[in-house]
Amino acid sequence: MGALQAAFAAGTTDPVALLAALRERIARHPSGRDAVLAPVPGAAAAAEESARRIRAGAGRPLEGIPFGIKDIIDCAGAPVTCGSRLTGDRVAEADATVVARLRAAGAIPLAMLATTEFACGSAHNPRYGSVGNPWDRTRWTGGSSTGSGAALAARLMPLALGTDTGGSIRAPSAWCGTTGLKATRGLVPRTGVAPLSWTLDHVGPMARSAEDLARVMPWIAGPDDADPHAAGRYDASRARGLAGLRVGVAEGWFTAMQDAAVLAAWQAMLRVLEHGGARLVPVDLGPVATAHQDGYTIVMAELAALQEPDLDRAAGLDPGTRARMDQGRLFSATDYLRALRRRPLVLAQVLAALGDVDVLVTPGLGGEAPSLDTLTVEVDGTAHPLQAVLPRNTMLFDYTGLPALMLPTGRGRTGLPVAAQVVGKPYDDALCLAVGAAFQRETEHHLGAPPEAG
């Protein structure tokens, strides 16, 4: 995004030419057929307006930057279907707050992007099909912001919006070699975003670098008048350099079920941070397994409650959605309330463990992207079910609401991206991004691109 803004300022290209080039790429690239669901009306007129503003020296902060939108986030005039056959041909009447804020900053809504059904279904979406990973189209991108991850990796657009309830911004970012931020809970309003779990849903940006995310966050963060959970402000002053930074290193839960190549890339990242002046500090976050399961209890119980009006049409749901909804209906009120009651206790426990550090850096996902055929992830040569690996290091931070940045750290055994996660204290989003940007200035993992489709 920084390079695009510099090119706009220099006059070597403009938003109109960029939009035309991206549309042409979307039309010919395989990811344009599965990651991109529909164009957003009015993009051409918006690009012309942006070009006029730039020529007049009146550009806004994100002037002319095209972005994609996960298909559970409303964009006025565009089809927003939540990846479900049950929603028919729904067209959004108004922008979600996050879309409206990006428009106000000059960014251009370009396309609606694929999601799993209601952000919780299987990789094989019954309405639109599956989304292949641009690095290897026999592999998945990871859900549920599946189109956002693929579109960014395929260079179909420089910015996308995703949501994260158990890891759905961070998983596609890890497996597509891109960079995504699950912001502090409530920092980005959820108004106009279809809910999966009103307790754990987060909205956040996805791009190809932490610097790009830092450009975006000030313009989408902060409460609105409609989302009762929205709170806090993005505080760029919390960013700082690596010198003297205390980096927490947790093992146990976070390093189990991790391929050796993922661990090696994580350890290499820690060495880069240490070389830049950071100090590595062992931390123990306590028993994580119960909190991990409590997160899923909340998600599935709230999903079941939200989808209850459609029980008579459940046969039309993706089997993955239906299975989670059915499981959610089996939880008792006591199960659900116990999971909610433990949440502030776990947050206090985690914050106490992080009391002597500035950020926590963990391995990302346990292996490279899973096969679309088997939906298994290989860890040290053994295939494991997707759900045993994908959310292991992500769900805790949805449950506690802490900011978490996923960024690429190298390649795995078969040459596909692997990643690590930078976690901060509440509203330390800018610090997480600063750590990610410092790492990316010293490495080139985020610059890697998939092979061009034939």
Out of 84, 144, 173, 209, which one is annotated catalytic? 144
Angle between helices 2-10 and 210-220 (to 10 degrees): 80
Helices (H) and strands (E) in the chain, counts: 15, 15
Q: What is the C-alpha separation between 72 and 168, in angstroms, rounded?
A: 12
Q: Is the alpha carbon torsion for 448, 451, 453, 454 positive or negative?
A: positive
Q: Taking the CA of residue 453 as centre, how many other CA atoms within 13 Å lie in the half-sphere pointing to its CB?
A: 20
Distance in angstroms between the alpha carbons of the first and the last residue of the chain: 26
CA 188 vs. chain centroid, Å, equals: 13
Residue 100 identity: A
CA 298 vs. chain centroid, Å, equals: 20
Q: Is 144 a catalytic residue?
A: yes
Q: What is the C-alpha separation between 328 and 351, in angstroms, rounded?
A: 29
Q: What is the C-alpha separation between 347 and 368, in angstroms, rounded?
A: 30
284, β-bridge pairs: none
Nearest to 193 by CA among 127, 294, 125, 115: 115
By 3-state DSSP, what share of the chain in percent is helix, strand and coil, each rounded to 5? Answer: 40, 20, 40
Q: In 60-151, where do the E strands start and end?
A: 66-70, 108-113, 132-133, 136-140
Q: Is 168 a catalytic residue?
A: yes
Out of 31, 130, 168, 173, which one is annotated catalytic? 168
Helix ranges (H only) for 276-332 are 289-307, 319-330
359, β-bridge pairs: 247
Hey, what are 307's tokens? 């989808």
Q: Is 84 a catalytic residue?
A: no
Out of 70, 122, 182, 209, which one is annotated catalytic? 70
247, β-bridge pairs: 280, 359
Q: Which residues are catalytic?
A: 70, 144, 168
